[in-house]
Structure 1
Amino acid sequence: MGEYFRGIRTEMKKVVWPTKKELGSYTIVVLFTCAFFAVGFWLIDLGVLSGLKAILGITL
């Protein structure tokens, strides 16, 4: 068990942590990407729903 935790400590020393500036820019990229895909999926869903309404003649 001790060897396991020593291995974890060794690997954690190898990690290069981002700076505050990098972390901020990465966060903005992630939020923008999530928003982009959310809007994209919403538009696709809206298009499919409109198509089904037109084809099947239904109203919701």
Structure 2
Amino acid sequence: MALVASGSENLRRRLNAQKMCNLFNSCVGWCFAAFVRNRVIRRMKHNIEGVTFAFICEI
């Protein structure tokens, strides 16, 4: 009985570690996406203030 409980406990810990890793990766992804989004918005605002139409046809 002790081996079964130990095995299920290890499995539970491993699954919790995977969940935490997935959560961490999701958080890093969201932070990176927000950084890129804000950078694009700043660039567009800068181009609009400079009275250029570069913000329309950005590559």
- Give aligned-pair identity as a percent: 12
The equivalent of 2:14 in structure 1 is 22
Q: Could you say which structure has the greater relative contact order, defined with CA pairs below 8 angstroms and 6 or more residues apart?
A: 2
The equivalent of 2:40 in structure 1 is 48
The equivalent of 2:31 in structure 1 is 39
TM-score (norm 1): 0.63
Root-mean-square deviation (CA), in Å? Answer: 1.3
TM-score (norm 2): 0.65
Aligned residues: 40
SS of equivalent to 2:32? helix
